[in-house]
Amino acid sequence: MKISKLKTWDIQDHLKTPEDIAAYLDAAMHQDDPDFFLTAMGDVIKAVGTKQVAESMGHGEKSLYKSIKTGAKPKYDTVFKMIDALGLKLTVSA
């Protein structure tokens, strides 16, 4: 098979259900790398719809993109607004 015939793999194509999204973000949190987690949040937000998430957060799309770019240091409340806008809950367990 030629390389040109291979389909590009995109994580966003696999983030269809809340369970898929939760599993992906949970795995990202366990990487101990804030930039990796922000990249995963960006993948999820793009899969769900940036405009929809931004509106649900009460933010503009441009502001949301700034919050999830590599190296960004979003505020605690911004991360929780993103999680809430995605219909997720963050839990801690022992």
Residue range 84-91: mean pLDDT, rounded? 91
| pLDDT, tens digit, 9 for 90 and up, residues 22-72 | 999 999 999 989 889 999 999 999 999 999 999 999 999 999 999 988 889
DSSP state of 3: G
| CATH code of the domain occupying 18-24+32-94 | 1.10.260.40
Instruction: Please report, as a single letter, which amino acid is at residue 90.
Output: L
Q: Is the pLDDT of residue 4 over 80?
A: no
N-terminal to C-terminal alpha carbon distance within the chain: 48
| pLDDT for position 32 | 85
Q: At what angle do helices 18-29 and 34-48 cross, to 10 degrees?
A: 170
As a whole number of angstroms, the distance between CA 59 and CA 36 comes to 22
